[in-house]
Structure 1
Amino acid sequence: MKLLTNAQKLLLLLRRQRSSRTTTVQAHDPSAAGQPALTSAQLDELEKNVELRHHRNNVPLIRKLIEASVRGDRSVEQQLEEELGQLPNATHPRLLDYGDQPRELAQHVQREMPLKPKEFSELARALNLYRMDHLGNYTGHKSYYLTGHLATLEQAIIQYALQSVTKHGFRLISVPDILPKEVIESCGMRTEGERTQVYKLDTGECLSGTSEMALAGFFANKVLPEEELPLKVTAVSRCYRAETSGLQEEKGIYRVHQFTKVEMFAICTPTQSEAELEEFKNIEVDLFKQLGINFRLLDMPPCELGSPAYQKYDIEAWMPGRQMWGEISSCSNCTDYQAKRLAVKYLRASDGQVQHAHTINGTATAIPRLLIALLESYQKGDSVEIPTVLRPFMDGQEFIARSKRIPETKLVKFIKAA
């Protein structure tokens, strides 16, 4: 952690000196400002971490830029700042020998699977609850409609998740879907480049990929009393991802451009963050136990961690219609990665010093994939049983049968004039 802290301090120094016009040589001389510079050995460790996580950071370039900066070349400062800002978080020591495979920590088998399960799209179409075909002309690729009781089921899942997490002390916040790109990048998601998942608007702002970003931005540039930590909040929002996939197993609503998610987010002290991550994980496990689906808990290897994550747990549900495990939830400890970029701090009670906080995030429910797991697992012939915990949010309804209220839509290629 100290190594990444030095890199982050160097990044903060660059930002300060760009505004205060102090010289680059002074800023990178440890004896001049009492601030650490990155040594060659430390850069070697950073490069090992980048390789371990399969990231594409250019550490050799960072070496050259640091050398030029120390020599007093101010023209490289912005490029160096950008390169340092793209480095991933440190990696939890527990994960260092995982290789490229996750560790399965638990598998929860709670119900027998149907003998001849239908895949979600086939089942939802048969019940007239869903439409994804022929939408390209006016809603774009990877769009969908949920209708009838399937739309009601979506709302029931949201209310169930909110009721569950608020019992654990999470406070509900309604968040914006449009954010400055600086907030999104500070949270660890790139907004530039060929492989970005971010939708950019003509104004220069972006559509939020998850409410984690808006929740983190809400606390930017704030100093919180230590007595208030951990501070836990939750939000329901639409999430926008400019990603696509041609994989057969990810067809239908498994990977889409917009979906609804209930997100959990916490700000805490460094000594609280690992315990908070365990609480997030336990909340998620209990949510899916109550829903009665078959799922497994995974401890993810370094190569599966996004830039902000120090460690991460994934939950995958068994989707019998697809005969595959599909990710439905995750939670991550981002330590001070996001907090330093957004200046989220707390006032330490013991000595009154201001310190950077740690942030934790987790998915309570991501609707489309959870709908796949529920419908494929609970199908019974020509109907779908509703999980017991969701029935209070659907007026006690126990089954979903074919809907006849929503008219079926068909593609008309030609209309002959009378």
Structure 2
Amino acid sequence: MITHNIYRCSSFSWKINNSIRLFSSSILPDIDLNYYCNIENINEIKNNIKRRKGIGDIDKAFNLYNTLKTTPNGDNSYDSIKLDLFKELNILPNRTHPIVGNYADEPQVILEINQKKDFGMHKPLEFSKITELLNLMRTDKLGNTCGNKSYYYFGALAELEEALIKYTVSTLIGKDFLLISVPDILPRNLLEGCGMTINTDRTQIYSLDPYHHGHDMYLSGTSEMSLAGLLSNSVHSAEKLPLKLAAVSRCYRAETSNVVEERGTYRVHQFTKVEMFLITKPQESDEMLEYIRNIQQELFTPLGLHMKVLDMPPHELGAPAYRKYDIEAWMPGRNSYGEISSCSNCTDYQSRRLHIKYTENNQENYVHTLNGTACAIPRMLIALLETHQDPKGKIIIPKALQPFINGNTFIGKNTQVPKLKLRK
């Protein structure tokens, strides 16, 4: 596993160094063998894999487990069998919350927030058309700079991006989140410890050229992984939990989509995101997931967006998630909803792989990890501009954001940056 001294991060250690000590651990993840290798649970595990559209073969893992039990420790094949067993166990999905396990294939709408804006006779424009008319963004003719699924924000739109970040971060700091600046290049074992699948046909992860940049190094898709890596191989005092971290980072995702609703900058290869990451005692993680969701609702509601909060069904859960909420905002220019955030309870799935524990009553146990999007910039900008567009050719800035954008109340046409032409 990744092993680094978390005390080197001074902005982190001054607050919590009394609650953490490092400990030595095996390279192997500490999978719960009592559950995954119990014959009574195999049908449950198989059904969970099927419903979650996950990967993994529990029969193969169980056969390896039985072979390992009958192989003497010290035999030439023992270490190889053990490694194969944990490779199989490591890619199995987390368990699913019992309530979610009863859902069919559709998300459950648990809450709607704000009303849809009435545009009257005015037909709302799509984000890309708005930004074209106001000269606020460029997504084509980028030359050799970024390539497909990339963009430039100009003037007030770039300022609005910064305002969203400042608004979000100030709210989180007010709720005692510790802000961390994180790396964007991560090793393979950390990504896999967080539940990401590497080098498959469906991978969304950018890998760096091993010849020039080192073996098994990747661009981070979310700061959740960097924050989890910061805590790897650590033990926390129970009275110091929950530990609440936040980061602003650039996210890189090698994903494409031909879905009409995901055109333009809805799905891009790099974007800025503010992320929340929490660790807590197991008995408190369900409550902490609701806490994160409430923070998201508190952040988004004053922005005047119409939203619905969804409890996601099993097939929408990534491998680490035990339960996940999504929030979708109405994007009137597209005449459809679009996901702007999610939050997940990953229970001990990541902590067992990264060896993150807590101590209570002289006993060590694995923490539960949770994560949540506080602000994903491109989709938030889509929702804001489409919702607050004015027929007179300007964008009304929500009052909650105005203090973070020099008190401006609206965005007009950008005249400082001319429309660019690509010279042949």
**TM-score, normalised via structure 1 length:** 0.88
Q: Spell out, residue by residue over 1:9-60, the C-alpha distance to the aligned partner (whole angstroms, 9 max, x if none).
A: xxx999399xxxxxxxxxx9xxxxxx78823322222111111212132223
The equivalent position to 2:365 in structure 1, one of 355, 361, 368, is 355
Question: Separation in 1 of the partners of 2:354 and 2:63?
Answer: 27
In structure 2, the CA distance between the partners of 1:16 and 1:335, relative to structure 1 (3 Å rule), is closer
Q: Which residue of 2 aligns with 1:206?
A: 218
Unaligned 5+ segments in structure 2 are 1-24, 72-76
The equivalent position to 2:394 in structure 1, one of 377, 383, 387, is 383
Q: Which residue of 2 aligns with 1:7?
A: none
Q: Which residue of 2 aligns with 1:272?
A: 284
Unaligned 5+ segments in structure 1 are 1-11, 18-27, 29-34, 414-418
Could you say which structure has the greater relative contact order, defined with CA pairs below 8 angstroms and 6 or more residues apart?
A: 2
**8 A Cα contact 2:29 2:90, kept in partner:** no
Is 1:117 matched with 2:127? no
Q: Which range moves more in the overlay, 240-249 or 370-379?
A: 240-249
What count of residue pairs does the alignment treat as equivalent?
Answer: 384
Q: Write the letter of the residue equivalent to 1:387.
A: P
Instruction: Determine helix, strand or coil for the equivalent of 2:141.
Output: coil
Question: Separation in 1 of the partners of 2:336 and 2:272?
Answer: 22
**8 A Cα contact 1:158 1:365, kept in partner:** yes
Q: Which residue of 2 aligns with 1:407?
A: 418
> What is the root-mean-square deviation of aligned Cα atoms in Å?
1.9
Q: Which residue of 1 aligns with 2:404?
A: 393
Deviation at 1:67, TM superposition (A): 3.6
In structure 2, the CA distance between the partners of 1:228 and 1:97, relative to structure 1 (3 Å rule), is same
**8 A Cα contact 1:113 1:320, kept in partner:** no
Q: Which residue of 2 aligns with 1:53?
A: 52
The equivalent position to 1:176 in structure 2, one of 169, 183, 204, is 183
Q: Which residue of 2 aligns with 1:3?
A: none
The equivalent position to 2:192 in structure 1, one of 185, 201, 211, is 185
Q: Which range moves more in the overlay, 104-113 or 263-272?
A: 104-113
Counting aligned pairs with the same residue, the percent is 48
Runs of 4+ aligned residues of structure 1 deviating over 4 Å after TM superposition are none
Question: Separation in 1 of the partners of 2:36 and 2:278?
Answer: 31
Question: Separation in 2 of the partners of 1:39 and 1:267?
Answer: 28
Question: Separation in 1 of the partners of 2:412 and 2:35?
Answer: 65
Q: Which range moves more in the overlay, 255-264 or 404-413?
A: 404-413
Deviation at 1:83, TM superposition (A): 1.2
Instruction: Determine helix, strand or coil for the equivalent of 1:252.
Output: coil
Q: Which residue of 2 aligns with 1:4?
A: none
Is 1:224 matched with 2:242? no
Question: Separation in 1 of the partners of 2:126 and 2:29?
Answer: 55
In structure 2, the CA distance between the partners of 1:134 and 1:79, relative to structure 1 (3 Å rule), is farther
**TM-score, normalised via structure 2 length:** 0.87
| Mapping for residues 233-382 of structure 1, pairs under 5 Å | 233-348=245-360, 351-381=361-391, 382=393
In structure 2, the CA distance between the partners of 1:295 and 1:224, relative to structure 1 (3 Å rule), is same
Question: Separation in 2 of the partners of 1:41 and 1:14?
Answer: 28
Q: Which residue of 1 aligns with 2:28?
A: 15
Deviation at 1:223, TM superposition (A): 0.7
Deviation at 1:134, TM superposition (A): 2.0
In structure 2, the CA distance between the partners of 1:13 and 1:144, relative to structure 1 (3 Å rule), is closer
Q: Spell out, residue by residue over 1:158-196, the C-alpha distance to the aligned partner (whole angstroms, 9 max, x if none).
A: 000011111111111111111111111111111221111
Q: Spell out, residue by residue over 1:275-323, the C-alpha distance to the aligned partner (whole angstroms, 9 max, x if none).
A: 1111100010111111111111001111111111111110000000111
Question: Separation in 1 of the partners of 2:151 and 2:40?
Answer: 51
**8 A Cα contact 2:233 2:354, kept in partner:** yes
In structure 2, the CA distance between the partners of 1:306 and 1:136, relative to structure 1 (3 Å rule), is farther
Deviation at 1:87, TM superposition (A): 0.7
Question: Separation in 2 of the partners of 1:54 and 1:38?
Answer: 21
In structure 2, the CA distance between the partners of 1:127 and 1:61, relative to structure 1 (3 Å rule), is same
Instruction: Determine helix, strand or coil for the equivalent of 1:253.
Output: coil
